[in-house]
A = this chain, B = another copy of it.
Amino acid sequence: MTRRKIEIKRIDKKTARQVTFSKRNKGLFKKAMELSTLCDAEIALIVFSATGKRFEYSSLSVQQVIGRYNLHSDQNLNRTDQQSVELQKVKGEELDGLNTEELQELEKMVHLSLHRDVKKKDEMFLNEITDHKQKVGCHYA
């Protein structure tokens, strides 16, 4: 017999699940790399198998991220060096000294900071739209 349509739910049989994992995991990483190459996208992908094995791909290095940050900041130009140094300090000194619980705490906080940051940007964008509507006198429903 050959390929059938499958339902997207947890595969019960352990061996089948592992076989499918290795096939699809490989495919996923290939797709991620292709997208990154074709479309100039920056991608981070981390996968833990059910057995705890880790697989990772990132199109960007820490250096590149910091470099990209430096390019973008025209305000805060003089704060940049200092902030990069701070980031390196956080990375090098602090993370090594933390235990698992604290790393998880930190992870949670970074998540929240990220969320707050993104939310703030969304709000700013929304405000821009609202302002624009008011200025030009639009009356969408």
Residues of A whose CB lies within 8 Å of any CB of B are: 6, 8-11, 17-18, 20-21, 24-25, 27-28, 31-32, 34-35, 37-50, 52, 54, 56, 58, 62, 65-66, 68-69, 73, 76, 79-80, 83-84, 86-87, 89-91, 94-115, 117-118, 121-122
Contact = CB atoms under 8 A, between A and B. Distances in A.
How many copies of this chain?
2
Contacts of A113: 95-96, 98, 103
B101 A73 contact: yes
Contacts of A42: 47-48
Given A8-B38, A54-B115, A62 B108 contact: yes
B97 A86 contact: yes
30 contacts: A8-B38, A9-B38, A11-B38, A11-B39, A18-B39, A21-B41, A24-B31, A24-B34, A25-B35, A40-B50, A41-B47, A41-B48, A42-B47, A43-B46, A43-B47, A43-B48, A62-B108, A79-B99, A80-B102, A83-B102, A84-B102, A86-B102, A91-B109, A95-B110, A100-B121, A103-B114, A103-B117, A104-B114, A107-B107, A110-B110
